[in-house]
Amino acid sequence: MDSIISDQLILAIKDQFQLNWNGVHGVSHWARVCENGLQLAEATGANKKVVKLFALFHDSQRLNESWDPDHGPRGARFAELLRGKLFDLPNDEFDLLFTACSLHTQANTHIDRTVQTCFDADRLDLGRVGKILDPKFLCTEAARDPKTIEWANQRSINGFVPDNILGHANFL
């Protein structure tokens, strides 16, 4: 898929992941979030490196599959810990990644289009846990497009595993 996400980075995240790697907050969800975000980025102009790393880190520190309101800030700090070791980003891009991970469960939207795109990429995959997507909780026009919602929702409900580096990590 790209050079920003290496197998070593995925394995470091998997090593400490507390939940089911193939569960509702596991790597197949991350793979769909990644594809959702990259698809949206074509319209929103979001930073694609940040979108990919958000997909990987945003739920990486979850401690349960239900109510865990601090998993976003923990995921952001985990990204900070691995930065410079297993991936790298300039300060301005890292700030966007940190913000998107930190706030993804706490903020409805954000002023920055990359952060908005990250939020939407995650929310477009809510069908897998039986939630009906309400467009008013989506930040970008691209995500609110009924065709986009239908596309992402069907993949989410069906547990579709994308053909990308995170989809392949399903079998790691």
Interacting residue ranges for Fe ion, rule: CB under 5 A: 59, 122
Please return the burial class of 116, using the count of CB atoms within 10 Å of its CB with bins 0-12, 13-18 and 19+. buried
Residues 6 or more apart from 102 whose CB is under 8 A from it? 72, 73, 75, 76
Closest approach of Fe ion to the CB of residue 93, in Å: 20
Please return the burial class of 109, using the count of CB atoms within 10 Å of its CB with bins 0-12, 13-18 and 19+. middle
Which of 85, 138 has the CB closer to Fe ion?
138
Closest approach of Fe ion to the CB of residue 154, in Å: 18
Which of 85, 158 has the CB closer to Fe ion?
158
Closest approach of Fe ion to the CB of residue 75, in Å: 8
Which of 3, 124 has the CB closer to Fe ion?
124
